[in-house]
Structure 1
Amino acid sequence: MFLIDKPYVSDFLIETIRQNNFKVIATKAARALINDDDLAWIEEAEAVSIMKKAPQTPIYSNSENALSWIAQNHGGGALSNQISSLKDKVKFRALIKALFPDFYFRKVSIEDIHKLSSQDLPFPFVIKPAVGFFSIGVHIIENEEDWIKAKEELHPEKLESIFPENVLNTSTFIIEEFIHGEEYAIDYYHDNDGEVVLLNVLHHLFSSGTDTSDRVYSTSKEIIEKHKVDIEHFLNKVGNQLGLKNFPAHAEIRIDGNGKIVPIEINPLRFGGWCTTGDLLGVTLGFNAYKCFYENKKPNWEEIFAGKEDKKFSIVVLDNNSGIASADISSFKYSALADDFEHPVLIRELDINKYPVFGFVFAESTADNDKELKDVLVSDLRKYITT
């Protein structure tokens, strides 16, 4: 079953549901987002009945907003407990403590942040909402000066967002040691037997050591094959602790120079937010990750990347880091943006006054072409903005 909710669902995902006659739960939010009576809609009561009678029924949600529906309609069950253990970063760290016994973390309220003494903190460290999304409220702290600056931003009135509390709750934060290494985002699922099936591995690029943005993610046949076995082995360890089966997820990890994998977070019941990473290889190569999960199949990477072995496929998140208020922006020059990419397969345009981003770029490039990605990674996007 598909559980669709705000803020956004892509045409690619809707078309996947339509073409395969997948069941989609007829919530008020889903009906508002998808105006199509020909989909295989099922009423909420029927969906709840299916979940109770067949707990292993595959469920995919495009948005963490929908997790509250599961809590309200199927709370107290194993699925709700699994979701809670992954979504809450403090609970997640406690869950995997046996795997990382020396890893430092602590829970702190937003009020107590300003009472903490720097002598009690292990520089460098990361502070972020215990229940978070979209890198909102995330700060990398290397020294006392960073800590002073971060505390100036960590106030409730500065952390307002369009997301509900079950997606982003800034009342409680987690402080944890900084994880060194290259960062990767992974779309995957646990199959009928609980085994991990990787659907993508994306290298998360940063402009500096303190950058926490979600601007650029890239994948390729080489990236997937290089890390596939080690990542599957690691994620199986985590999944076994929770008994995950028929369970889609999106993990963020770091891999250090010695190949050690340390998780940043694991997001339940979805792939990358805003139908980004889940759509990427479908939009660019025709591989449908949603269908692969729903049918409990494993991807054949040789076939998927046939003829494109030397290509890189990227997502660019067009967040508004321009310093210009959304209300003062009259338009965004998407055509000029497209001209700056070797092969912009798709540009999804969004209303910056309605969403926290201008949209997303799905791009294909040759493996050695890093310039366009590095340029947009550090860009404030002002060259594309009309005020």
Structure 2
Amino acid sequence: MLFRISSFLLFFTCSEIVAKPIDLFFGTSGRNSEGIYHATFNPENGKFTPAKLAAKIGSPGFLSMHPNGQILYSLGRWDGSAGTLGYRIGSKGELKEFTRMACPDGSGAHIAVHPSGGFLITAQYGGGSVAIFPLDKDGFLQKPTVIEHQGGSKVVERRQETPHPHWTGFSSDGKYALIPDLGLDQIVIYKVDPNKPSLSKHGVAQSVPGGGPRHMRFSVDEKFIYLLNELSLSVTTFAWDPSNGTAKRLSTTPAISEQVKAGESFNSAAEILVHPSGSFIYSSNRGHDTVSVYQANSETGKLKVVQVQPVRGAFPRNINLTPNADWLLAAGADSNTVAAHRVDPKTGKLPCQRGSVINVPSPICILFVE
């Protein structure tokens, strides 16, 4: 009897864990949006609760969590200023703003909190800069320091005349900050001093000419960097050496064929993800409105496209995987939708279109909070 009760309790507990809805926040940017929205997602059936406004702010765009799991930071615009805001997360997904700080170089395109929780950085696409915002022990934003990028590859007219930092992130050990710059065709690598905090120029990783670096991800084992090129709709693989913070370019894989691109009036890559298994990569294609699925060679980092799947939405600015990677969510910025796609764990493909679609005004960022 004890065994039966224990087995029942174990089954019941596991079922509760599996079926528990996941909180998620949507960063938005558009005339129809009012700020940051909140919903929950059920990984058992792929269903959302309706999205509700959690915080009213102009163009919050991308979001990032503090390592303590209790504070959410966003970009934003207010009263003629632009910068960064911090919110405490309530038990029902409500956001209570407690800090904001303007950036002297304009609005940001991306944001990331350092693993130490001591500072965050933002990339200013229009300003051509990176801003470092110190955080005090309670998460309050301090006055930022701005680092200006210089130059421009000038390969693609009107897009690469000047620097355009587009993404911010860190190596897992927190020693390096990496900034893909669309205007430079480079990943700019900075050495991190978490105590000041400060960034010092360490080196660059050169992408393909005219590629237009947008976002990047490390492989699960951090042997490789997968860089998404917005302008050429391709992924460039780099070998990453964590001991000295250098990246060597290895190969480049087109996301969609030239024939497919020729059939669209507009083409642009937006987001890239790595499956937790390390075996699959995903990137979103605006214009074609699809997700490309790649198999990744764990020894060489070389990619092979195995599927190009419609996102059931328009202009997929962002995609994200649920924490257990059972589902891929795609944000259609122009369709005002977020659609759920089931992920096949063996192949990485998106075989079933049975997940639901939720209405969100101009979504451009999907952030899961566990």
User: Shared fold (TM-score greater than 0.5)?
Assistant: no
Q: Which has the higher strand share?
A: 2
Higher relative contact order, chain-length normalized (CA < 8 Å, sep 6+): 1
TM-score by length of structure 2 reads 0.31
TM-score by length of structure 1 reads 0.30
